[in-house]
Amino acid sequence: MIKTGEIIKNALNAGVVVPAFNVPHLPMVEPIIKAVTDTDSFALVQVARLEWEKFESKSLTAVRDEFDKFDNPKNVRLHLDHVPVIDEDHLEVDYTAIIEEAIALGYKSVMVDGSRLSLDENIAAAKKVGEIAHAAGIVFEAELGAVLGHEAGPLPPYEELFASGEGFTRIDEAKRFVEESGCDWLSVAIGNIHGAISGATMNEKKPEARLNIEHLAKLRDVTGIPLVLHGGSGIKQADILESIKNGIAKINVGTELRQAYEIGLKESGSVKGAQQACYERTLWVINDFFHIQGTRKIVAE
């Protein structure tokens, strides 16, 4: 079976993208895998620590068990998303224990998020995770720069954030980070933002973000590895498609599917109705937004 790391490299080389779909609610796993399989595309199914802490994915084991019920290795793999060193509530996390648990459970790739640390501390944390992941024969992702949105309270006005370049991944730091940490994939900040998770804003429409493609191209050139875009929901489609041409090989999608599921649950009053809404929205993301239907053979064979 082709390894996840090779799949993402293939996507980068082919100029296509692998979406990574978050599952804050366990019943989302089945319709996501069905949509990916039905479109003969390839995707990662992923869970972040905050999704079992603040939503309904329950645990690493629960997500793995649900994934295993519907797994189709030709079309999907299981990825561990954001494991912060310092979380959104500014608390320290035993991140290596979570990484080790995920690997033992069979997750095929993992992510450490040290973006709230200093550059030196972020490199050290990523290097530590890299040693664990590589010893197990899997790849790992790290983050440099500040992809905002998970913090409590509202964001500053988006246009103000974009114009200032606040939190953007710095070119010089990215080069050093990749060289010293040994990360396989790098999540970058180029105007993208996460969907809010605080109670007051989690159900609101995300601000329509845009991307600094010129900055992205420079990051691609100095790093030489697949780059990752977090906060993929709500970004202008033209910017998304241009980013894929300029080094983005993996895009995380969370809010788009979570809100479809939650609205479907509220309107239908049933999990089945919510799953159907999630399935239909996943089809839309694959077919109409990313245009990646039928790309499995390109990236995963």
Q: Per-residue pLDDT for the chain (301 aa), expressed as one digit of tens each?
A: 899 999 999 999 999 999 999 999 999 999 999 999 999 999 999 999 999 999 999 999 999 999 999 999 999 999 999 999 999 889 999 999 999 999 999 999 999 999 999 999 999 999 999 999 999 999 999 999 977 655 455 556 766 676 666 789 999 999 999 999 999 999 999 988 765 544 444 555 556 778 999 999 999 999 999 999 998 777 889 999 999 999 999 999 999 999 999 999 999 999 999 999 999 999 999 999 999 999 999 999 9
Determine the pLDDT at residue 3: 97
**CB burial of residue 7 (10 Å; 0-12, 13-18, 19+):** buried
- Measured distance CA(159)–CA(211) in Å, rounded: 11
pLDDT at 200: 43
Can you say whether the dihedral through the CA atoms of 44, 274, 229, 80 is positive or negative? Answer: negative
* pLDDT at res. 301: 92
Catalytic status, residue 81? yes
Catalytic residue among 40, 81, 239, 288: 81
At position 73, the amino acid (one-letter code) is P
Pairing of strands 43-47, 76-80: parallel
**CB-based contacts of 61, cutoff 8 Å, min separation 6:** 105
Q: Enumerate the domain spans of the chain.
A: 4-296
**What is the reported pLDDT for 49?**
97
Please tell me the predicted confidence (pLDDT) of residue 234.
77
Would you state the pLDDT for residue 198?
Answer: 43
Cα-based distances in Å from 167 to 115, 123, 174, 233: 10, 17, 13, 19
Pair 298, 16: CB distance under 8 Å = yes
| Model pTM above 0.85 | yes
pLDDT of residue 158: 67
> pLDDT value at position 201?
45
1 exposure class (CB count in 10 Å sphere: 0-12, 13-18, 19+): exposed
Q: How far apart are CA 247 and CA 244, in angstroms?
A: 6
pLDDT at 297: 96
For the segment(s) 4-296, the CATH number from 1.25.10.10, 3.20.20.70, 3.40.50.880, 3.40.50.300 is: 3.20.20.70
Reading phi first (left if > 0) and then psi (alpha if -120 to 50, else beta), residue 278 is in: alpha
Q: Which amino acid belongs to residue 191? A: G
